[in-house]
Structure 1
Amino acid sequence: MAESIAFTPSASRATIYAELLPQIRALIGAESDLVANLANTAAVLREAFGFFWVGFYLEKDGELVLGPFQGTLACTRIKIGEGVCGTAFAKRETLIVPNVDEFPGHIACSSASRSEIVVPLFARRGTPFGVLDVDSDQLDDFGPDDKTGLEAIAELFRN
């Protein structure tokens, strides 16, 4: 039976990430299936922050393929090196895009998306196997607290 995740809605983002991290760790630690854990993590993040879209893309045969997500219809496949997701994966670094319309080669899966943060997911040996993608319908919605918090959550999936 699933347990609910508790957080302080009026707290700062840094505080919410700090409250969520041990709860997500406990939630996914009890389950061995990656897809189930990614799905619950996407749901927790969307519920906690009200982000427009939260999801995961996993590398398969040289492309990023849509995995578990919460939000509107999404792009199914993204080429490595293209768009924000493909670029973050290829560079192996978190990308924060304050205005997606100003990102060269941005792939508009939804015209309502205005800003985005993408965090690579790494295997134990250091190779990326996917990305955590979070979109907002607000410009410049992501900052250092999101980078730190989402990277800590991504680290939980190091396999």
Structure 2
Amino acid sequence: MFVAAPIDASLKPALYAELAQQARGLLHGERDRIANAANFAALAWHALPDINWCGFYFFDGRELVVGPFQGKPACVRIALGKGVCGTAAATRETQLVRDVNAFDGHIACDSASQSEIVVPLVDASGALIGVWDVDSPSLARFDDEDRAGMEALCTVFVASLLPNHGVPTT
């Protein structure tokens, strides 16, 4: 089991603020969910240290189905309430798991993953869009700074799907 040196938590707010700014620029003017998800995942993959998978699972009305991602091949379908992704989707709450082996019902798509954070993606009406999932080969890779940063990034992604990127028309 690999445990990398922890990332300085004091640097995370600036990293996530810069990533959110880059994501807004990258997604500006495009509303296609798949195109935005692909570019968003690639941006995060290249910017976030110590991760081995990041990507989307989209809700198809019954279950979560893998969407654009970066990393090794992934599980294709996840039932609501199952694993970390299914739990985030069912509860509509971010799941920050410092040790996936201690998470009851964890679905191991990649045995190298040791920690995980999953942010539910919900539209303004409360409808589930899917989840944003990030894995790390290091134990306890994610903390509350990552939670806040990932949630802010996901707000940018969800806003990109709205007409005019969520900006009211006059």
TM-score, normalised by the number of residues in structure 1: 0.90
Match of 2:165 in 1: none
Query: 1-side partners of 2:144 and 2:106: how far apart?
Result: 22
Query: 1-side partners of 2:129 and 2:33: how far apart?
Result: 12
Match of 2:24 in 1: 25
Larger Rg: 2
Query: 2-side partners of 1:35 and 1:52: how far apart?
Result: 21
Secondary structure of 2:150 counterpart: helix
Q: Give ranges in structure 2 of 5+ residues lacking alignment.
A: 1-7, 163-170
Q: Is the 8 Å Cα contact of residues 85 and 133 (structure 1) preserved in structure 2?
A: yes
Q: Give ranges in structure 1 of 5+ residues lacking alignment.
A: 1-9
**Counterparts of 1:1-159 in structure 2 under 5 Å?**
12-50=11-49, 51-156=51-156, 157-158=158-159, 159=162
Q: Output the aligned Cα RMSD.
A: 1.4
The number of aligned residues is 150
Report the AA paired with residue 37 of structure 2. L
Secondary structure of 1:155 counterpart: helix
* Runs of 4 or more consecutive aligned structure 1 residues displaced over 3 Å after TM superposition: none
Query: 1-side partners of 2:122 and 2:61: how far apart?
Result: 16
Query: 2-side partners of 1:32 and 1:126: how far apart?
Result: 19
Report the AA paired with residue 115 of structure 1. S
Query: 1-side partners of 2:149 and 2:39: how far apart?
Result: 16
Residue 113 of structure 1, CA deviation: 0.4
Query: 2-side partners of 1:25 and 1:114: how far apart?
Result: 30
Report the AA paired with residue 155 of structure 1. T
TM-score, normalised by the number of residues in structure 2: 0.84
Percent sequence identity is 49
